[in-house]
A and B are shown apart, each in its own frame.
Chain A
């Protein structure tokens, strides 16, 4: 890769790193795993950077890679959750959020993974139904129904309307 390509890659990643990490965190609810997902995503992105750079929507591609990486990782046996008596060392804890915000994350975590992904893409990444459907490879009808069910579940914690706007 030429130096200018590498510089462009660094610039692209630096400006989006925080957003990618937070998206990954919403999907997996663990900062270690989120950083792993982002690192794997960036590695894949770096390998195809010349092509990605020329795309009209490189962010859409990056999101798709992140989503697929998360779904792939979830299928791996070592990612399956199990209980243990003592918690392993974790990263430095994030600043505590208010109780209802914690409840929001807990509820989000309890949703089926595609429903969770739909909500994250629609209401955190601000994608339209069509863009979400394209990213996840789902029909728009499925995205609409998943959005509706997901919002219904979240309404037990916060008040939101059908467009995801908090009231």
Chain B
């Protein structure tokens, strides 16, 4: 008989180790890491596209972008960059409050590289520069919590050539792999809107579904609004519907 540690311990109390919770927590962390990496990849591809556009522009006019009216002709000088980003930072919470009843803005997540208020600004090197303003916020809706991302860009106002032609058409085949559904519609004010659902982790065991809307406003401002499904891997319930994302993306207050 060995020393008898088992006898000394006696009967153990019930375990408080929750294996399900432990696995769920680790799975969630892994999912967030994957989603983050996928989002970074999308941003990197978009940035590459921007550089290509700026470098290869050949002056051809866009063929499918909404026709700008005289009153909507962009005036890049009407506001400074600081004024414009401050305006976006102010109107975005207001748009959420007005257009998405039942949805609560919990917090905003400013990210690098250049923090301006509640969003970030990326500025291309060419003249006139392509500028992207991105704004991220955590929202709570009846279906759960999620990170809402809004990207406002003047890329159609400064791009030229084939790339401009291509992005103006908003064709579904131009979006990244993992497309689950996609449609291009025209809004009531002439907005060209692509509504899509993508699986960011098609190669993985579960789905990481993200709803996204790309809108080209009448003044040719480009607005992208995305929101992941459910907040957990494999969720098939959107936190915000495509209609809700569209309502945000087509708000005229986001015009450049």
Question: Which positions in A face B, CB cutoff 8 Å?
Answer: 1-3, 6, 9-10, 13-14, 17-18, 21-22, 25-26, 31-32, 35, 38-39, 42-43, 46-47, 91-98, 101-102, 104-105, 108, 119-120, 123-124, 126, 154, 158, 160, 164-166
Contacts and interface: CB of A to CB of B under 8 A. Distances in A.
Contact of B4 (A9, A91, A101): A101
A21 B23 contact: no
A1 B31 CA distance: 11
Contact of B23 (A6, A94, A164): A6
Interface in B204-254: 205
A21 B16 CA distance: 10
B8 A101 contact: yes
A124 B5 contact: yes
A10 B27 CA distance: 14
Nearest to A102: B8
Given A6-B23, A42-B19, A164 B2 contact: yes
Chain B interface bracket (under 10, 10 to 19, 20 to 34, 35 or more) = 20 to 34
Given A3-B205, A39-B17, A42-B22, A160 B3 contact: yes
A124 B10 CA distance: 14
Contact of B22 (A21, A39, A92): A39
Contacts of A43: 22, 25-26
Contacts of B2: 123-124, 126, 164-166
Interface in B1-45: 1-19, 22-23, 25-27, 30
A165 B23 CA distance: 40
Binding site of A, secondary structure by majority: helix, strand, loop or mixed? helix
A46 B27 CA distance: 10
Contacts of A123: 2-3, 5
A94 B15 CA distance: 12
21 contacts: A1-B30, A1-B205, A2-B205, A3-B205, A21-B12, A22-B9, A22-B12, A26-B5, A39-B17, A91-B16, A93-B13, A101-B4, A101-B10, A123-B2, A123-B3, A124-B2, A124-B3, A164-B2, A164-B3, A165-B2, A166-B4
A42 B17 contact: yes
Contacts of B9: 22, 25-26, 94, 97, 105
A92 B13 contact: yes
Contacts of A96: 10
B22 A94 contact: no
Interface string B39-58: 00000000000000000000
A19 to B, nearest CB: 10
Q: Which 3 A-B pairs have CB atoms at the shortest separation, nearest pair first?
A: A101-B8, A95-B11, A97-B10
